[in-house]
Amino acid sequence: MTDSRRPDLDDLEAKARAATPGPWRQGHVERSHVFCPASHVDRMADERNLLRLNPHFPYEADAAFIAAANPTAVLWMVERIRQLEEIASCSVCGALPTQALYCGACFPDGGE
Ligand SMILES: [Zn+2]
């Protein structure tokens, strides 16, 4: 059974690689803005305004979230999810158990 909430990791990785690398940060004064380094040589001295959110919405939380979920962070998570799924997948059929430690199809006794 597939989880409809699961993002397409290949698509997410491709988009993260194509986007401006992180880190990103929320503006300290302009709370609806998201900044990123313009140069990765000198990160703090050379930023640019990447995004201005619509100030008519509760933009501060959205700007903070977008800054935190930057491409560098997303690429780390995609890599980590793949590593953990590789570790957790069934050694027999490759399926990923969702509720149990062992694949119910290959280990009906729960690995005992
Ligand atoms: Zn299995």
Q: Which tens digit of pLDDT belongs to each residue from 85-110?
A: 999 899 899 888 777 778 888 888 87
Query: What whole-number distance in Å separates Cα of residue 103 and Cα of residue 91?
Result: 9
> 41: CA distance to ligand 1 center in Å?
48
> 31: CA distance to ligand 1 center in Å?
48
> 84: CA distance to ligand 1 center in Å?
16
Mean pLDDT across the stretch 41-56?
77
Residue 41 has pLDDT above 60, yes or no: no
pLDDT in the model for residue 44: 55
Domain residue limits, the chain: 9-88
> 88: CA distance to ligand 1 center in Å?
11
- What tens digit of pLDDT does each residue of 10-37 get? 999 999 999 998 899 999 999 999 999 8
Global pTM reads 0.79
> 74: CA distance to ligand 1 center in Å?
29
